Amino acid sequence: MQTEINTQIYEHGGDIYRNDVRLDFSVNTNPLGMPDGAYTALRENLGVCEKYPDPHCEALRRQIAQFEGIAQKDILCGNGAADLIYRIVFSIKPKKALVCAPTFSEYERAVVISGGRVEYHDLREEDGFVLTERIIDDITDGIEIVFLCNPNNPTGKLADAGLLKAAAEKCSMQNTLLVLDECFLPFTCGESLKDFPNIVVLKAFTKIYSMAGLRLGYLLCGDSGIIASVREHAQGWSVSAPAQIAGIAALKEHDWIARTLELINTERDYLTSRLREIGLCVFDSDANFILLRSEKPLYEPMLKRGILVRSCANFRGLGENYTRIAVKLREENEAFIEEIESTIAQREG
């Protein structure tokens, strides 16, 4: 029986449950999948599902501290980075926040739900959607929290490390909390600001370790008061036992990030080149995903071919003619190119 296609745009990528999807290019998880060590650890420790998880994630935090080269006390784990975003916002209840446009929508949503107001720093297409020094002027009096995503989602661009430090200094001067989302940073050669004072750095196992279904993230912050406040705004067992087990095992895969980087750099270049040959406007990316612009929307015609892409219709500053796609394995990337080329040829014919 033919499955009815649901063309209503989901708020995020990964809506494979309402549609018949054979290739999902809408989510930006590691194309290598989850590390073998994490799979093995989960299989060998299924018994942990019968017990309450450690609410303090002691063993996991020890492993993260070793991995990050940071004190264990400066780490707080959560049910994915999104969980931590909401907990940060609820802990300070900012009256006014600054977010970029376009960027990840959960920053804005958390602020609005908590009763705050959002101001926007527009990233300009003529700048390639790169963060510029204009951000410093937008960190004005009354801004209590600033969210910066590095590299930014959905544009894939890294911010200059010096500019991020300048933003951190401006926030520190104004007693503004800077939340720096580095969930996609492991896919790049970018520099982490985890050692810079007065900021909260967000990281996750979701993307680099392809653990989206397990839900595991963490934040780094040298301010014990912030750590304590964010910890208080959570239910007692926010990180499941299987997630903790898998997270510990994943961090022991010491060559994982290097392997991933090599693959992403090669396949991103391949996709970018082929898409430009087809005639699409493709924006340069530093991450494991690519933003492109087409004359007509691609979401529905690609979905009819069984390929799910991320429509950017609900990203502030973009629209339905902008599409974000993940960088995947060569076989999948080739299949995607073939289908999108056929889609465009069919339209022109």
> Domains in the chain and their CATH numbers?
23-34+256-348 (3.90.1150.10), 36-251 (3.40.640.10)
Beta-bridge partner residues of 202: 181, 219
Residue type, 335: A
* 304-318 residue pLDDT tens: 999 999 999 999 999
Q: What is the pLDDT of residue 348?
A: 67
What is the percent of the chain with per-residue pLDDT over 70, rounded to a whole number?
95
* 17-51 residue pLDDT tens: 677 899 999 999 999 999 999 999 999 999 999 99
Q: How sure is the predictor about 343, in pLDDT bands with cuts at 50, 70 and 90?
A: very high
pLDDT score of 8 more than 60:
no
Q: What is the pLDDT of residue 14?
A: 67
pLDDT score of 5 more than 60:
no
Average pLDDT, the chain: 94
pLDDT score of 68 more than 70:
yes
In angstroms, the Cα distances linking 145 to 17, 81, 121, 140, 257 are: 35, 17, 13, 11, 31
pLDDT score of 52 more than 60:
yes
pLDDT score of 326 more than 80:
yes
Q: What is the pLDDT of residue 6?
A: 46
pLDDT score of 3 more than 70:
no
List CB contacts of 297: < 8 A, sequence separation 6 or more.
Answer: 311, 313, 320, 321, 323
Q: What is the DSSP string of 276-287?
A: HHHT-EE---SS
The answer to whether 220 and 200 are in contact (CB under 8 A) is yes
